[in-house]
Amino acid sequence: MIPAPLCAAPSLAADPWRSDPARILGIRPEVPGVQTYDLEFRDPRVRDAYRFSAGQFNMLYLPGIGEAAISISSDAVTPGVLAHTVRGLGNVTHALARLAVGDEVLLRGPFGRPWPVAELTGRHVIVVGGGLGLASQRTAIYEFARRRDDFASVTVLHGAKTPDGLFFTAEYDAWRAAGIDVRGTVDEPDASWGGPVGLVTDLFATLAIDPTRAAVLCCGPDPMMNAVARAAAAIGIAGKDVYVSLERNMACAVRHCGLCQFGPHFVCQDGPVFAYEKIASLLAVPHL
Ligand SMILES: Cc1cc2nc3c(=O)[nH]c(=O)nc-3n(C[C@H](O)[C@H](O)[C@H](O)COP(=O)(O)OP(=O)(O)OC[C@H]3O[C@@H](n4cnc5c(N)ncnc54)[C@H](O)[C@@H]3O)c2cc1C
């Protein structure tokens, strides 16, 4: 059990260094090696004050082990329970995987520029997620589903290497029922797979949209995001209408340590969501 803070401040936003204990309410396996953790702040005042927007992330802190940036993957209208979908990769994420329901972590946030959902009204919205990238977009998808009539169309293109790498497939039916065109595609199908085979970029040519009224929200590996921007351009979507969410090693989350510096930008606060044209030249630099 993590001890109660000596002095409980009511607002997280007032102190970005402040971490608050949050209890694990539930753990759901998603795909092999990835689980979703539902977290609830222990202090009801912190819980009530906390708000976030689609595409933002929290810093999950395990004392004595470290802190990791993790996107919030739940619906922003229920900020009392915060989902984080995590791949066991290194120190923090493997330690998290050893915790159980009822254990506590420390959480600070939310951080980062969100997806520009408010600017998308009336447009064709194309969400493109590569593997776990879809976690940073799920909050936005919930909002698009709820406000579907505010958009000309909403399409989710989700790509993975194999069918068991596709995320949130149990929710596809609900998203479709809300009027969202959801398509998963895989590179390597197995016997059970009856959907498209190939890259998400292959699906762009099939989109029945007015490209001058379209916007793309993309999250995945850098080469995929470059390819998606090219595929969008090929059907007439301007670079200014393509948004990408970057993943970089991160430590402070308050543009102080420089670990996430990306050219002149700090991914923690200038991003993680950027207009593609703003960072296209930097994304072309290998390993930046
Ligand atoms: C904005 C943002 C959102 C994110 N959202 C999510 C999310 O929703 N879900 C998610 O799972 N991840 C997410 N990430 C990624 C996550 O923050 C990183 O994977 C983080 O490093 C995990 O922390 P860790 O301590 O478990 O891993 P680390 O111990 O930091 O290890 C991370 C990687 O570095 C390698 N590594 C570690 N130490 C060394 C070393 N000494 N030498 C060489 N390589 C090393 C590891 O093998 C591993 O591949 C996000 C990142 C950002 C920036």
Which residue lies with its CA nearest to atom 41 of ligand 1? 90
Distance 89 CA to ligand 1 centre (A): 6
Which residue lies with its CA nearest to atom 27 of ligand 1? 90
CB of 68 sitting under 6 A from ligand 1: yes
Residue pLDDT, tens place only, 247-262: 999 999 999 999 999 9
**In this structure, what token pair is assigned to residue 145?**
């589903």
Residue pLDDT, tens place only, 182-215: 999 999 999 999 999 999 999 999 999 999 999 9
Alpha-helical regions (H) of the chain:
44-49, 91-97, 135-146, 172-177, 222-234, 267-270, 276-283
Q: pLDDT confidence of 13, banded at 50, 70, 90?
A: low
**In this structure, what token pair is assigned to residue 71?**
């996107």
Distance 24 CA to ligand 1 centre (A): 20
Mean pLDDT of 15-20: 92
Residue pLDDT, tens place only, 110-163: 999 999 999 999 999 999 999 999 999 999 999 999 999 999 999 999 999 999
CB of 91 sitting under 6 A from ligand 1: yes
What is the value of pTM for the model shown? 0.93
Whether the Cβ atoms of residue 164 and residue 144 lie closer than 8 Å to each other: no
Question: pLDDT at position 11, please?
Answer: 43
CB of 60 sitting under 6 A from ligand 1: no
Residue 226 has pLDDT above 60, yes or no: yes
User: Other CB atoms closer than 10 Å to residue 260's CB: what's the count?
Assistant: 23
Whether the Cβ atoms of residue 235 and residue 207 lie closer than 8 Å to each other: yes
Report the greatest alpha carbon distance in the chain. Answer: 57
Alpha-carbon gap, residue 170 to 179, rounded angstroms:
16
SS3 75: coil
Ligand 1 site-directed mutation target among 70, 87, 99, most atoms within 8 Å of CB: 70
Distance 58 CA to ligand 1 centre (A): 13
Give the residues across from 183 on adjacent strands. Answer: 157
Q: In 3D, which of 99, 111, 134 has the Cα closest to residue 22? A: 99
Distance 120 CA to ligand 1 centre (A): 31
Q: In 3D, which of 235, 76, 63, 271 has the Cα closest to residue 157? A: 235
CB of 56 sitting under 6 A from ligand 1: no
Q: In 3D, which of 137, 136, 288 has the Cα closest to residue 223? A: 288
DSSP string, 152-193: SEEEEEEEESSGGG---GGGHHHHHHTT-EEEEEESS--TT-
Ligand 1 site-directed mutation target among 93, 138, 250, most atoms within 8 Å of CB: 93
Distance 259 CA to ligand 1 centre (A): 13
Alpha-carbon gap, residue 54 to 141, rounded angstroms:
9
Strands 66-71, 124-130: parallel, antiparallel or unpaired by DSSP? Answer: unpaired
